[in-house]
Amino acid sequence: MKAAADLRAAKKTAIGFDPQRVKRDFPIFANNPGLVFLDSAASAQKPAAVIDRVSDFYRTDYANVHRGVYRLSAASSEQYENARARVARFLNAAHESEIIFVRGATEGINLVVQSWGAAFLKPGDEVLITELEHHANIVPWQLLRDRIGFTLKVAPIDATGGLDLAKLEALITPKTKMVAVTHLANATGAMVPVESIAKMAHAKGAKFLVDGCQAAPRMKVDVRAIDCDFYAFSGHKTYGPTGIGVLYGKRELLQAMPPWQAGGDMILNVTFEKTTFQDPPARFEAGTPDISGAIGLATALDYIEHLGLDAVEAHEAALTEYGIAKMAPLPGVRLVPAGQRRFGILSFAVDGIHPHDVASILDQHKVAVRAGHHCAQPLMDKLDLAATTRASFGVYNDEGDIDALVAAIKAAQKMFAD
């Protein structure tokens, strides 16, 4: 007994925090007893600190930003800009002005496509994406391609489900103006070595965009260490509110980019003949922004940095290892290939049972997972799967949640057995 207790204590130290204690920070679990939430890759639950911060802001400090001369508006503006500074520290950006608040990673990528892409891409140019991408990093490029006529190339995965880096490098040519990749594939959990790809892209003079939706909540992201030109992530997957997200862009790039949406707050001077625009980031934030969302996101980042992002990463890696160890031996259960490093997400197929049936039966056991194509249909086609079941982890999950998942999968298999 003592040895087991020592082991548990050692584990807690190793992962830096106790998921059971973390779970108590999230009111959803008290309000849904027995909930085994394994769908953080779709959206993470919110700690009380974030919920309270948003509520308190509306109750005590709310006014529009950047407009009023009265004190309340000035205080609101200050908190909104503090949130920007908070995000800049989170990503280790060089300047606060490199942080643009958007609705989510999807809007962040669309901003790059519609502003940078529309201004700088010409017929004959090439944009390189990968087979691991979410639709949000495929379709915006297709829409612009159809308008402009550049070539959209796709770097393939290899047999292990990871990116084939040699092929990717070979696909980058002097015509390549942009390489846009996911940091962590949402459909399979495959980690992508973005630092290496940044070097490959820059060696040929291409810009480099990273979709950081799944990585930002799970590990320390340092945009200067990665040396990416753009990095997008969503607040709601990072324990913050819905409706807020972040686009990081290198300052000199943002300064050269034209506005993509126009309205209030992004202009310097307007006449009916000519309008001049603000510098970044204001140039890209037309209209009243999601003020409470930005402030709530800052609190969410405080929260996970308080837990420690190294500890969060170790925790998610340990859960992933535990999940692989428990699921790989299950007869009739196949983990979808995820390359050299599977992280935070377990995508799997159960022989003879459709993913939606798996998810429905898991739901009966209070295990919440996602089933479907995960907005990555081209990747599903490549893997020859119509859909998968996906369990994904957050800071509040523990080994017991994975045990519950495994027990529910076994129950589904029993129900469907001949």
- The binding site for other proteins (CB under 8 A) comprises 353-357, 360-361, 364-365, 371-373, 377, 380, 386-387, 411, 415-416, 418
Helices (H), 134-271: 139-148, 165-171, 194-203, 223-226, 251-256
Q: Which of 48, 375, 385, 407 is catalytic?
A: 375
Q: Is residue 151 helix, strand or coil?
A: strand
How many helices (H) and strands (E) in the chain? 17, 15
Give the Cα separation of 112 and 247 in Å (integer): 9
Closest contact distance (angstroms) between CB of 360 and other proteins is 6
Active-site annotation holds for 213: no
Q: Which is nearer to other proteins, 35 or 93 (CB)?
A: 35
Tokens encoding 395: 């800071």
Q: Which is nearer to other proteins, 3 or 417 (CB)?
A: 417
> Left (φ > 0), alpha (ψ -120 to 50) or beta: where does 332 sit?
left
Closest contact distance (angstroms) between CB of 396 and other proteins is 24
Kind of pairing between the strands at 275-277 and 388-392: unpaired
Closest contact distance (angstroms) between CB of 374 and other proteins is 11
Closest contact distance (angstroms) between CB of 91 and other proteins is 34
Rg (CA), the chain: 22
Q: Which is nearer to other proteins, 135 or 204 (CB)?
A: 135
Kind of pairing between the strands at 126-130 and 176-182: parallel
Q: Which is nearer to other proteins, 171 or 391 (CB)?
A: 391
DSSP code of residue 278: P
Burial class, 82, CB count within 10 angstroms (exposed 0-12 / middle 13-18 / buried 19+): middle
Closest contact distance (angstroms) between CB of 187 and other proteins is 13
Q: Which is nearer to other proteins, 87 or 387 (CB)?
A: 387
Q: What positions carry a catalytic annotation?
A: 375
